[in-house]
Amino acid sequence: MNMNSLRQKLWNWSLRCYRTLLRIYPRDFRGEFGGQLDQSFRDISRDESRRGFLGLAMLWARVLPDLAHSAIASRQTSDLGWQFRLRWVIACGLGFGLYPFPFHVINYFFGFPFYVGRFRVYIPQPPLEVYFAGSCLMLAFLQSRVVSNKSFDRKRWLLFTLASEAVFSILARAGVISIHAPSLAAILGFAGALIGFAQSLALRGRPLQVGLLLTANAISLAIIVLLPLPMVLGIGPMPPSFAHLTLGWAISGCTLGVITAAPLEWLLRTRPCPQES
Amino acid sequence: MIQDSLPLNHADFHIMLVLADGERHGYGIMLDVAELTGGRTKLGPGTLYTSIKRLLQAEFIEESDHRPDPKLDDERRRYYRLTQLGRKVLAAESQRLEKLVSYARSRRILKHA
């Protein structure tokens, strides 16, 4: 075997290797840009082949870190399909399922005395908004674990979600909305719309995307009361147990996750990706 | 919308800067970025197409049907060009960087041209 044929074989092997390694990219990315990646690699190979074996080494020294780095980046932004939706549904289910948990934690400490020097101090009972804020933050945190990617601002997501809860509380305190009127579904739908609006703003969605996510959240929270589960929200002939309540809330959360996954995924797919500051 | 997209990713900015000069295919962009930066920034194919996908989704660039010379060029190559929105974002990012450079000059980190 002469030197030229050995060199040719090596370059062909290099191209085959690269084509195999392209499998580390997500399927949708490969489908869209696989041919272009292959073409670019052949272009670079053609240029580097003038430098012989050194060129081959230089080519791979450049391509391997690039492959690793860009595959991770493309998975962070492209990994949105069914896996994303499933994780989102689970996060919503878990977040809603654990919704009563902060209530129990806060109630545990309420009335519990502690000592400052010789003085016995009781923790005053916080307003209802504090309970809801705790639950809201827990849900938003779990959701943010799924939504997170390189350009995602978790603090913004949490802050905006909390702000929506605050707006709801202020309106309720001011008597603008009441738990009895016009209906529980409408009230929950309104709360969902507020959350959807806040979260899509946190993700810097476009007006149509904001509208879609807002609507999806509103519908999903409104239909919670229509679900054929008496234990949901504690509505039923018997006082619900903690387990029943948790299950009811978890099912409600999963329902919200299923309805909101698609508009959220669309927003995440199309949003620009600024550099981390 | 434009301000929300800033600051641009390092690779995205270079790609858009090259496309401001006219449409290019992937390898053309890689060569021009290397030339623009004096060989200090060499985009790999993966980085290039990850950025291109992101820029296409953000509608900062678009695919072009036009081929400069179909006889000389590979028909399978895809060409990209800057959109109006992309041009505005590029201008905003350039202004942002210009302000930073001005600040560096005012602090005598850089000498005045």
Mean pLDDT of B65-80: 70
Q: Is B95 within the bounds of a domain?
A: yes
Instruction: With beta carbons under 8 A apart, name residues in chain A contacting B77.
Output: 36, 39
Reported as type and span, the H/E element at residue A223 is: none
Question: CA-nearest residue of chain A to B5?
Answer: A274
Name the DSSP class of A238: S
Taking one residue from A and the other from B, the number of pairs with CB-CB distance under 8 angstroms is 92
Put simply, the answer to whether B46 touches A269 (Cβ < 8 Å) is no
- Mutate which: A21, A47, A67, A70, vs B, most B CBs within 10 A: A70
- pLDDT in the model for residue A26: 81
Residue A14 has pLDDT above 70, yes or no: yes
Put simply, the answer to whether B5 touches A36 (Cβ < 8 Å) is no
Question: Which of the listed ranges A101-105, A145-149, B56-60 does the model predict with the highest average pLDDT?
Answer: B56-60
Q: Distance between CA A276 and CA A261 in Å, rounded?
A: 25
**Which of B4, B42, B74 is opposite residue A62, by nearest beta carbon?**
B42
Reported as type and span, the H/E element at residue B79 is: strand B79-82
Looking at chain B, the whole-number percentage of residues with pLDDT higher than 70 is: 87
Q: Give the model's confidence band at A276: pLDDT under 50 very low, under 70 low, under 90 confident, else very high.
A: very low
Render pLDDT for B19-51 as a digit per residue (tens, 0 to 9). Answer: 998 889 999 999 999 999 998 888 999 999 999
Q: What's the gap in Å between the CA of A86 and the closest CA on chain B?
A: 23
Q: What's the gap in Å between the CA of B42 and the closest CA on chain A?
A: 9
How many C-beta atoms surround the C-beta of residue B14 within 10 A? 22
**Which of B8, B44, B78 is opposite residue A36, by nearest beta carbon?**
B78
Put simply, the answer to whether B48 touches A40 (Cβ < 8 Å) is yes
- pLDDT in the model for residue B34: 92
B75 in A contact zone (CB under 8 Å)? no
Say how many domains are in chain B: 1
Q: Is B102 within the bounds of a domain?
A: yes
CATH number at residue B38: 1.10.10.10
Render pLDDT for A178-188 as a digit per residue (tens, 0 to 9). Answer: 666 567 778 88
Instruction: Look at residues B75, B65, B78 and name the one whose alpha carbon lies nearest to residue B29.
Output: B78
Question: The whole model's pTM is what?
Answer: 0.55
Domain span at residue B14? 3-68+77-106
Instruction: Look at residues A211, A128, A197 and name the one whose alpha carbon lies nearest to residue A160.
Output: A197
Q: Distance between CA A165 and CA A132 in Å, rounded?
A: 8
Q: Is B111 within the bounds of a domain?
A: no
B22 in A contact zone (CB under 8 Å)? no
Residue A63 has pLDDT above 70, yes or no: yes
Show the tokens assigned to A119.
């003085």
Put simply, the answer to whether B50 touches A74 (Cβ < 8 Å) is yes
Q: Is B112 within the bounds of a domain?
A: no
Residues 26-45 of B with CB under 8 A from A: 26-27, 30, 42-45
Put simply, the answer to whether A70 touches B46 (Cβ < 8 Å) is yes
Instruction: With beta carbons under 8 A apart, name residues in chain B contacting A45.
Output: none
- Mutate which: B27, B50, B83, B100, vs A, most A CBs within 10 A: B50
**Which of B9, B44, B57 is opposite residue A275, by nearest beta carbon?**
B9
Answer whether A172's CB lies under 8 Å from A209's CB.
Answer: no
- pLDDT in the model for residue A80: 63
Residue B62 has pLDDT above 80, yes or no: yes
Name residue B79's beta-bridge partners: B25, B64
- pLDDT in the model for residue B70: 60
Render pLDDT for A18-28 as a digit per residue (tens, 0 to 9). Answer: 999 998 888 77
Render pLDDT for A25-58 as a digit per residue (tens, 0 to 9). Answer: 887 788 888 889 999 999 999 888 888 888 888 8
Put simply, the answer to whether B8 touches A269 (Cβ < 8 Å) is no
Show the tokens assigned to A173.
């305190």
Q: Distance between CA A79 and CA A144 in Å, rounded?
A: 15
Higher-confidence position of A110 and B87 = B87
Higher-confidence position of B65 and A180 = B65
- Mutate which: A39, A47, A210, vs B, most B CBs within 10 A: A39
Higher-confidence position of A209 and A38 = A38
Instruction: With beta carbons under 8 A apart, name residues in chain B contacting A202.
Output: none
Q: Distance between CA A155 and CA A139 in Å, rounded?
A: 14
